[in-house]
Structure 1
């Protein structure tokens, strides 16, 4: 599991350490960042800092971390949830190849099969480069615009599997 030092590095925003808590039984990281970070942004920050195998699968952004009188995480944290991002692992060899290309092309340690291209920071330059690599390495002919329109690796590979891509 991710260390507290890695979380401190990842969750310091504008010099302030965001309040956070790990729910270890579910691999969930709670971050009090409503209005400061999206759940995807928080997940990416942690994923860049930690080994992806150690990073939590789910990041939940909350208004505040509900703690009891002893400062321990309360059971009612789901009641203050604002937004959630869960890593979706690739489910086919094609998805595995494409998420690796996306991660490399976007400069990220890993990309989930349901992460949106634009939300990950994708732009037209990255779309062209990624589309070219997909054709070279996987034999998939797609337009750069397909990354915008279909949005996720899962949707893109579903179009390829269905034979409706370019």
Structure 2
């Protein structure tokens, strides 16, 4: 459910959750879908999907089992949703690229997946934390006593830790 690329798939899975336990569905709604659901993520809002084939100059229709997907290589989008969210060609985009005899797929991948970006991530030196004795913490923080959370023992016999094999 959290990894669904299409809203229709997400809604189908949420309906199944609702049938099992309505309170779980309410809890997930209250938490906010945008915090944990891929399809509701606020990342990449600027690249909204469109089904207008006229806008996709080099778009193609790709048929998967029982479905058709529109792929726009220019905008790096697919109606399956995976191409724009993962920022790496989905199976449908790869099929279009192969159909167009494109062998270099690097331009269609995000820079985040390229080795240069990974190397730049570690360019800045990481300074380890000093010893605990060298920490400077405010006195109100040092004087604060942190207690463990209150534990309520559940009713009934405790479950055995080991599950027996059949």
Q: TM-score scaled by structure 1?
A: 0.30
**Which structure carries more strand by proportion?**
1
Q: Which has the larger radius of gyration?
A: 2
Q: Answer 1 or 2: higher relative contact order, Cα 8 Å, separation at least 6.
A: 1
